[in-house]
Amino acid sequence: MERSEKRRHYDETLLTVVIILVVIGLVMLYSTSAYNGEVKFHDPFYYLKKQGFATFIGILGMVIVSRIDYHRWAKLAVPGYLAAIALSVAVMLFGDEYNGSKRWLSLGPVSFQPSEFAKAAVILFLACLVTRYSKKMDKFRTLVLMMLPVLPIVALVGASNLSTAIIILGIAVVLVFVASPKYSQFIWMGTAGIAFMAVFLAMESYRLERLAIWRNPEQYEKGYQTLQGLYAIGSGGLFGRGLGNSVQKLGFLPEAQNDMIFSIICEELGLAGAGIIIFLFLLLIWRFFVIAVKAPDLLGALIASGAMAHMMIQVILNIAVVTNSIPNTGITLPFISYGGTSVVFLLLEMGLVLSVSRLVE
Amino acid sequence: MKNRTYNKKKILVVFICAALILFGLIGRLVWLMVFDAEYYQELAQDLHEREREIKAARGEIVDRNGVVLAANRTVCTISVIHSQIEDEDLVTEVLCSELGLEESEVRKKVEKVSSMEKIQTNVDKETGDRIRKYDLAGVKVDEDYKRYYPFDDLASRVLGFTGGDNQGIIGLEVKYEDYLKGTNGTILTVTDARGVELDGVAEDRIEPVAGETLQVSLDYNMQAYCQQVAENVMEEKQAEAVSILLMNPQNGEIYAMVNVPEFDLNNPYELNTGVDENSLSDEELQDQLNQMWRNRCINDTYEPGSTFKIITASACLEEGVVSLDDTFVCPGYRIVEDRKIRCHKVGGHGQETFVQGIQNSCNPVFMDIGLRLGADRFYDYFEKFGLLKLTNVDLPGEAGTIMHKKEDIGTVELATMTFGQSFQVTPIQMAVTVSSIINGGTRVTPHVAAAVLDENGEKIETFDYDSEKGIVSEETSETMRMLLESVVSEGSGKNAYIEGYSIGGKTATSQTLPRSANKYISSFIGFAPADDPQILGMVIIHDPKGVYYGGTIAAPVLRDIYDNVLPYLGIEKNQTMVYTK
């Protein structure tokens, strides 16, 4: 009886924010990609059509997933995890190369990005795993054990897509952090992580070059994209040039519909528009937080936390890259950047969180 | 498993971290979009904007009465922008038929993937308008100005012509470039990364400022008439060239400056000799074009011959070494040092007064008075009259006088110089020097440009020219006017005589160098009315065939011109003949 009462208790705010972001995403994607679509495919709607199709599939999936009790997915956690590994291996072997990286698997007319699937799979898998060992989470050994299964995926994905690997690692760390009652271990881990990053960066000179480009994008040819993004942001001012009026998207900023789409939003909608979008993401993360806190059990809390971690890491890294606050790395802006697989799995994740929200006390 | 309190706390920690970082990023955005905005906007604008020049219309050149001598014609440049073309076949077809071009050639340009491809330039406006009416996507018709000379070859070397960028090349066009050229405007358009202009984005436009109108002292009617007369005499005498100069001796205004054969200003790179340009090497062609563009009145020097006797006489009168009543004997030659220098009259003029000597243009008389003056004083007068300086006519490329060094002038040189040989001056130099002698002693600056007018024809600037007074005394000037009037009424210049007018003048026949070529220059300088000269004319016939005496062939040309020009200038006949008894 209790359940039937809560049946209609979707988190409506979350759903509304997701829908608004999806709509804004499609509008901005069209605005940004029309020129490139016209130039490359003689079809201004080229990107919009593909994204629209993926969004449709994603929303359908979201609705279905949200209606299913999330506990039933626990069975799929391990197969999902194995599938993510298998797909990551497959993409290394049979993947399509685009812009120099093998990230896509072609299945007939549909191309699929396994790393996006891997994010969702890791959230589910780790949530289940951590829930099972939650009583031992205060031990450092358990923490390491929890992290170990994630590492193969991180390594496989990281081979072609370092940014996504970092996101997956980040999600894993947040999940373990949330499940553990302690803090000090994480401070040590954080310190170790920073040290590891420093060594990792210093190992390859091109990574150090990235740092140099980050500091002075004007002086490097490879700083072109960053600089063009900054031009777009700076051109926006308070209220922007108006929707559709970006000049930077006209070939100046290459592939404007991808990672750097936020800079075009800044150019067209100004600080006001960009601020609203960041605010919407914050709202979204806040809802994840609320759902996670109110979740009936640890599994629900961890699923919501995982989604929150995913969302916040991606939004923060993307905007930080676009504003040249950190060195350039290819991370898409959830719901807005072009990418069908990303949208589908994000929406499925939203469905999962919505399903948790139904059971909120 | 339960969602414990410490789990919730940790979730809160994560959320707070996320929120803080996001607020930090908003702060970063504010920094970029508010404080750094100007910097990035400027850079972005530089990146997006393309500057396109709008040519300014060149100022017109009008004659003293406002007749337009140099104007502008609107021409069009037709180009195609590949990315905007919708129907390649239609575009190709229309352009071919309207412009009369080969289909394959147009098609190649239409199909070429480039930001902009020029199909044809200098297309006349009507064709451009017709093409524009088709309203074809991707076809651009840009208007432009091209210099146009309504009278083709009229005063070609005076006006000059312009080059591809509408810049002056010779003549007034180059001399007054700064007034005529105007200021080009610019269109700042926003383009995409491929350089294609964006529609609907406001373009910044700086309007061009048309050049100012140059009013010149030339008179279309006089210029055209003189050209016609010159062409006639050139043909009649099968001369190499004929130059005619009409000017106001009181203020230096040039009314007409003709050098036939003229060349067509609308086709300045076509030779006026009828030689096929293709048969010449580039260098030869350029040489011949440079020759064709020369203004003989200014750019070339010649031995003035007997017209120079005006100057010798003035110097001697001024210095008092001769008076009108002095008598001379001409046996047909003079022995100077070891040389026998002939008079043009082989048998000699016998005994004659100075007045008769000048009427007869007798060389021995002038040798005598020149030797009385001596080389030093002769040279000083030469200098005082301004013959060693340029006239500073406002046309480019004025040639200087070719003269002996003062210390090199021996008796023989002095003797030949008295009748205008062994040195060279430009025709304009002769005209100006004679003007200063007959106008009371004021050396004027000859000039063509009179004023600068704005687009409504209002004067913005009037040009002032220097003049130098006291070249000769008023007395000498009056004597010279009287003497030269008598040359026309009674002496060697009688072929320039017109019943009812008092005309002063002097003829000349000079042999060009090398003497062995037996080529002559016949010339005549004349002015009217003789007592108060309002117009001074000079006719120079280069290498006439048959009779070559200036008095016989050049004087009648000026008479013909004066017969028409004097009434045109409002100088009436039958004024009191001051000097004629």
Residue B7 pLDDT grade (very low, low, confident, very high; cuts 50, 70, 90): confident
pLDDT tens digits for A177-199? 888 888 887 888 888 888 887 77
* H or E stretch covering A107: strand A101-107
Is residue B523 a contact partner of residue B538, using CB atoms and an 8 Å limit?
Answer: yes
Q: Which residues in chain A are contacts of B19 at CB distance < 8 A?
A: 282, 285-286
Same domain for B194 and B306, yes or no, is no
Mean pLDDT of A22-48: 90
Residue A263 pLDDT grade (very low, low, confident, very high; cuts 50, 70, 90): very high
Least CB-CB distance to B1: which of A134, A233, A250? A134
Which residue of chain A comes nearest to B198, CA vs CA?
Answer: A247
pLDDT tens digits for A194-218? 888 777 767 766 667 777 778 787 7
Q: What is the pLDDT of residue B274?
A: 78
Residue B146 pLDDT grade (very low, low, confident, very high; cuts 50, 70, 90): confident
pLDDT tens digits for B439-493? 999 999 999 999 999 888 888 999 999 999 988 999 999 999 999 999 999 888 8
Mean pLDDT of B124-146: 83
Q: Is A312 on the interface with B (CB under 8 A)?
A: yes
Check A308 against B18: CB less than 8 A apart: yes
Task: Say yes or no to pLDDT of B556 above 90.
Answer: yes
Q: Which residues in chain B are contacts of A321 at CB distance < 8 A?
A: none
Question: Taking CB atoms and an 8 Å cut-off, how many pairs form between chains A and B?
Answer: 147
Same domain for B58 and B163, yes or no, is yes
Q: What is the pLDDT of residue B218?
A: 94
Q: What is the pLDDT of residue B472?
A: 92
Is residue A11 a contact partner of residue A291, using CB atoms and an 8 Å limit?
Answer: yes
Which residue of chain B comes nearest to A254, CA vs CA?
Answer: B193
The dihedral built from the CA positions of residue B112, B118, B123 and B128, taken in this order, carries a sign that is positive
Residue B270 pLDDT grade (very low, low, confident, very high; cuts 50, 70, 90): confident
- Look up the domain containing B160 and give its range: 43-81+149-214
Task: Say yes or no to pLDDT of A3 above 70.
Answer: no
Q: Which residues in chain A are contacts of B38 at CB distance < 8 A?
A: 234
Q: Measured between CA atoms, how close is A97 to chain B, in angstroms?
A: 26
CA dihedral B123, B125, B128, B132 (to 10 degrees): 160
Q: Is B28 on the interface with A (CB under 8 A)?
A: yes
In a domain, B73, yes or no: yes
Is residue A153 a contact partner of residue A88, using CB atoms and an 8 Å limit?
Answer: yes
Q: Which of B13, B15, B197 should be substituted to probe chain A, the one whose Cβ sees the most A Cβ atoms within 10 Å?
A: B15
Distance CA A11, CA A15 (A): 6
In a domain, B322, yes or no: yes
Average pLDDT taken over every residue of chain A: 86
Residue ranges of B 184-203 with Cβ closer than 8 A to chain A: 190, 192-194, 198, 201
Q: Measured between CA atoms, how close is A158 to chain B, in angstroms?
A: 24
Task: Say yes or no to pLDDT of B438 above 90.
Answer: yes
Q: What is the pLDDT of residue B199?
A: 65
Residue B580 pLDDT grade (very low, low, confident, very high; cuts 50, 70, 90): very low
Q: What is the pLDDT of residue A6?
A: 47
- φ, ψ of residue A341 to 5 degrees: the values are -60, -45
Q: What is the pLDDT of residue A4?
A: 47
**Positions of B marked active-site:** 306
Check A234 against B198: CB less than 8 A apart: no
Residue B35 pLDDT grade (very low, low, confident, very high; cuts 50, 70, 90): confident
Q: Which residues contact B165 (CB under 8 A, 6 or more apart)?
A: none
Residue A147's closest CA among A156, A137, A160?
Answer: A137
Same domain for B307 and B209, yes or no, is no
Distance CA A348, CA A330 (A): 22
Q: What is the pLDDT of residue B230?
A: 95
Mean pLDDT of A254-278: 91
Least CB-CB distance to A230: which of B22, B32, B193? B32
Please tell me which residue, B84 or B177, carries the higher pLDDT value. B177
Residues of chain B with pLDDT > 90, as a percent, come to: 52
Check A301 against B194: CB less than 8 A apart: no
Distance CA A315, CA A282 (A): 9
pLDDT tens digits for B366-411? 999 999 999 999 999 999 999 999 999 999 999 999 998 988 888 9
Q: Is A180 on the interface with B (CB under 8 A)?
A: yes
E strands, B300-429, are 327-330, 333-336, 339-342, 350-353
| Final residue of a structural domain among B214, B247, B267 | B214
| Final residue of a structural domain among B179, B214, B249 | B214
Same domain for B315 and B187, yes or no, is no
Check B19 against A325: CB less than 8 A apart: no
Same domain for B317 and B426, yes or no, is yes
Q: Which of A136, A263, A325 should be substituted to probe chain B, the one whose Cβ sees the most B Cβ atoms within 10 Å?
A: A325
Domains held by chain B: number: 2
Task: Say yes or no to pLDDT of A350 above 90.
Answer: yes
Task: Say yes or no to pLDDT of A2 above 60.
Answer: no
Q: What is the pLDDT of residue A1?
A: 37
Task: Say yes or no to pLDDT of B171 above 70.
Answer: yes
Average pLDDT taken over every residue of chain B: 88
ipTM: 0.91
Q: Which of B1, B8, B45, B113 should be substituted to probe chain A, the one whose Cβ sees the most A Cβ atoms within 10 Å?
A: B1
Query: In this structure, what token pair is assigned to residue A33?
Result: 């990609």
In a domain, B100, yes or no: no
The pairing of beta strand B139-148 with beta strand B504-511: unpaired
Is residue B550 a contact partner of residue B242, using CB atoms and an 8 Å limit?
Answer: no
Q: Which residues in chain B are contacts of A174 at CB distance < 8 A?
A: 14
pLDDT tens digits for B326-365? 999 999 999 988 889 988 888 889 999 999 999 999 999 9
- Residue B122 Cα distances to B75, B148, B178, B571, angstroms: 5, 12, 24, 46
Distance CA B14, CA A176 (A): 12
Task: Say yes or no to pLDDT of B202 above 70.
Answer: no
Residues of chain A with pLDDT > 70, as a percent, come to: 94
Same domain for B209 and B307, yes or no, is no
In a domain, B31, yes or no: no
Q: Is B11 on the interface with A (CB under 8 A)?
A: yes
In a domain, B405, yes or no: yes
pLDDT tens digits for B45-68? 777 777 777 778 889 999 999 999
In b/e form, how buried is each residue of B274-286, taking b as 16+ CB within 10 angstroms?
Answer: eeeeeeeeeeebe
| Final residue of a structural domain among B214, B232, B267 | B214
Least CB-CB distance to A323: which of B3, B25, B192? B25
Q: What is the CATH number of the domain that holds B368?
A: 3.40.710.10
Residue ranges of A 65-104 with Cβ closer than 8 A to chain B: none
Q: Is B20 on the interface with A (CB under 8 A)?
A: no
Distance CA A307, CA A14 (A): 12
Same domain for B209 and B311, yes or no, is no
In a domain, B183, yes or no: yes
Q: What is the CATH number of the domain that holds B60?
A: 3.90.1310.10
Task: Say yes or no to pLDDT of A222 above 80.
Answer: no
Q: What is the pLDDT of residue A238?
A: 87
Same domain for B192 and B333, yes or no, is no
Residue B467's closest CA among B434, B445, B448?
Answer: B445
Check B3 against A298: CB less than 8 A apart: yes
Residue B527 bridge partners (DSSP): B504, B536
